[in-house]
Structure 1
Amino acid sequence: MRSDVGSSGLKVFAAAVVAVTVGLATAGCTNDDPGGDATVPPSVASSSAVAPSMTFEEAYRKLPMDGTTDLPITWDLAGAPDTDEVLAARRSLAFIYWQMSSSDWSPITPIGRFLYTEEYFEKVFAPLANTTSDNPSIGPIWVKPIGVEGTGADQATVIFCTDLGYWHEVEQKNPKVRTKRGTVQSYVMKNVESGDGERHWLADRVFDPDVDRQAKYGAECTKWALHQP
């Protein structure tokens, strides 16, 4: 059975991401399991447990980093060096907007396994793998990495400012430019060993919007997010 995304599809998808983010954060703080493994269901393999069906490079080549015809992404890379973790976070962000711009998510969703940790993919993207939509989103959008916060040798948080002024659902005719168009988004990245035996930076959590970092980055983001198509 296929699931359909109607006019509220983007809100449903965003709500799913937020719900899982909150759930993972809450589970990560619990003391119910001293071993710390209770947040990973037994049926969910780690990123290193299953050999991928394609290589990471093949998956990267399928990913439209600059968006699609209907939802182009313009990157401003002056805000932070395009390090491995920043590039990986950019791929993860591009994947989400690629998916939301499509009327059929089934050929797109598998690429997410090469961009997100297994736990996050199974909780957020796998349940929506066969989603169809008669009201996808269209752009353009502009994205700028505005910060990188290291939280350990193999973990970092990449912060983006995304200009969503002209981003809307296709059924909206002659939409007005959004008043609050600059959005602070954060991707928590982990450097983990994957099915190919190599280590890769994968997104493990998404905060969209990141209200906790709004005070630090909000003014800069608002000032920057004034683009014209």
Structure 2
Amino acid sequence: MNIVASTADILTGRSQSHLTELADGHLIHRQMCSAWLKLQQAAALDGMEIKIVSAFRSFQRQATIWQAKCDGLRPVYNLAQQQVDITALTGLAKLDAILLYSALPGASRHHWGTELDVYDASAVAENYQPQLLQTEYQDTGPFTKLNQWLRTEASKFGFFRPYNQYQGGVAAEPWHLSYAPLANPYLQALTLDTLKCCLQQHPVAEQQCVLANLAQLYQTYVINICEDI
């Protein structure tokens, strides 16, 4: 897939031209639909009902989440899943705490429509609200079977988990699926300059600190992913 400069709006979440709406209302990349449906069907044959918690997120939606976390209005967690008092942190330490689980607006992979946060609806009650916590996908958690299944089956349909394990940037997210044929070229196209240009045009919370540390944040939280295997 060829990606040119005109796709900057797609890369940074300011366009929906590449998306299609699923029956459940979620938006995903139209070129990913077939692979996603096949993955769901394969899981169903093994007794699981894979559903989406989150798919495409726009720049504005990510900016709203980012603002709320910076202001202490949404919880921020550390690696031990303990809530952090974000109001006690400043500067880069504050950004690092938030970026552990929440992407910088303009740099979220969810902007591309290639990313899905998923759970197994067959493993919980109908009214269960997934929290997207590691404990749900490990040991006795309700989605342990799904986690194990994805480990061997996801790649057969073109998907991988970019945050399969923590490697100094984003925390491990066993629920996060990425469609490699589209996502890998998008990541290559999302350069530091593209991200910087977006943020200069569309300021976000902690703007001055973000721009001052953008090169480091880009290395640590944007391109620092687990290999597509």
Q: TM (normalized to structure 2)? A: 0.28
Larger strand share, 1 or 2: 1
Q: TM (normalized to structure 1)? A: 0.28
